[in-house]
A = this chain, B = another copy of it.
């Protein structure tokens, strides 16, 4: 039960969620090998940082410069939950400072930056993590194991949609998320990147992408009332070819009226199928072509948490972050070499994201020659 010293950048939704995750490790994990010590926190808004420190019991607060937090000798892990456009620089600085680095998705706003972070991480040899929290949900892990153990045979189809409805309201104010320069994409970079990671995690590497993006609501007012252009996609849809021969469709939208946080995965293989959906995240539907045909059907499995709360007590959305962050701390403490998803995975997801943007612009299939 070794403590690891964490410095947190950002105190928004993700800052809070990460803090919760670190603090909940002793509940969700039976005999944790690693624990988090909340050493320092930074926010762009000083009052928020100060209050966050108080409420959640961080030792120190840094108010004006994230560099100071990274420079703090006590900080072993820099956890970056700042907005997308503030991923690159702090992560690079942290890598250069020899710190282990966690970064929320998407890794960066531009592909080139993601590549640089990945390369730097290789050179420095520190541990990195791209936050793809859904990999760590028990039900998603169940699917991964189910596929890996060959239970659904050779993969034929992957079908994935991530739909939110947060942008259906035309009065939702313009923010950095609507601006391509600061976000790196709209539904694509915010939601699609999760779907891309699940595609890679569950099915394998993507070889070709064909996509169409769309901005349905081209202007919004910012909080001051000024009309601003929306330059980041409200939705995209894409066709995928996987290296293993499977076909895939992948979509994300923030105008998916009716869905709040609907990330559905459907997979068909030669011997079975899998269906899962984030809005009902504890359940996996499994189909197997075994036994008498008239007794075949989709088995709805309630996938339990590993320890607490015990079986039948369904887990919340945030358990993905708990297991993600715990596994990273454990990887540090045990110096595990096989840990994933690292910045490599963040970079690969970014390559697919960029291919989606390019395919949309150039109206053609984009080949993703993997240089792994």
Q: Which A residues lie at the B interface, using CB under 8 A?
A: 13, 16-17, 19-20, 23-24, 26-27, 55-56, 142, 152, 156-157, 159, 161, 163-165, 168, 210-212, 214, 216, 235, 237-239, 241, 245, 247-249, 251, 253, 255-262, 268-273, 275, 279-281, 286-287, 289, 294-304, 308-319, 363-365
- Bound-state CA distance A245–B256 (Å) is 15
Would you call B238 and A279 a contact (CB within 8 A)?
Answer: no
Q: Are B313 and A251 in contact (CB under 8 A)?
A: no
Nearest first, the 9 A-B pairs at minimum CB distance are: A260-B312, A261-B312, A316-B316, A258-B287, A258-B273, A297-B301, A313-B317, A297-B299, A299-B299
Given contacts A20-B24, A238-B239, contact A272 B257 (CB under 8 A): yes
| CB-CB under 8 A for A302 and B364, given A249-B251, A253-B157 | no
Q: Which residues of B contact A315 (CB under 8 A)?
A: 316-317
The residues of B that contact A16 with a CB separation of less than 8 Å are 27, 308
- The listed residue (B211, B248, B297) touching A300 by CB distance below 8 A is B297
A156 and B235 in contact, given A270-B257, A273-B258, A314-B316 (Cβ under 8 angstroms): yes
The SS class assigned to the A binding surface is mixed
Q: Which residues on the B side are within 8 Å of A295 (C-beta)?
A: 286, 299, 301
Q: List 5 A-B contacts (CB under 8 A).
A: A237-B239, A260-B312, A286-B295, A295-B301, A299-B300
Chain B residues in 8 Å Cβ range of A319: 316
Residues of B near A26 (CB, < 8 A) are 55-56
**CB-based contact A163/B24 at 8 Å:** no
Q: Tell me if B235 and A210 are in contact (CB < 8 A).
A: no
User: A152, B312: Cβ atoms under 8 Å?
Assistant: no
Whether A363 pairs with B365 at a CB distance below 8 angstroms is yes
- Which of A304, A312, A363 counts the most chain B CB atoms within 10 A? A312
Minimum CB–CB distance from A272 to chain B (whole Å) comes to 6
Please indicate the chain B residues that have their CB under 8 angstroms from the CB of A272 in the complex. 257-258
Given the complex, which residues of B lie within 8 Å of A281, measured CB to CB? 314
Asked if B303 and A294 sit within 8 Å, CB to CB, the answer is yes
Complex Cα–Cα for A255 and B165 (A)? 32
Residue in B210, B211, B308 whose beta carbon sits within 8 Å of that of A212 in the complex: B210
How distant is A277 from chain B, measured CB to nearest CB, in Å?
A: 11
Instruction: Please pick, from B260, B271, B363, the residue contacting A311 in the complex, using a CB distance under 8 A.
Output: B260
| A212 CB contacts on chain B under 8 angstroms | 210, 239, 241, 247
Least CB distance, A132 to chain B, in whole angstroms: 16
CA distance A318 to B300 in the complex (A): 22
Q: Is the CB of A301 within 8 A of B296?
A: yes
- Determine the chain B residues whose CB is within 8 A of the CB of A210 once the complex forms: 210, 212, 239
How far apart are the CA atoms of A152 and B300 in the complex, in Å? 18
A255 to B157, CA, bound (A): 9
Which residue of chain B has the shortest Cβ distance to A266 in the bound complex? B161
Q: Are B157 and A235 in contact (CB under 8 A)?
A: yes
* CB contact between A280 and one of B216, B280, B309 (< 8 Å): that residue: B280
Contact in complex: B164, A312 (CB < 8 Å):
yes
Q: Quick check: B312 and A302 within 8 Å, CB to CB?
A: no
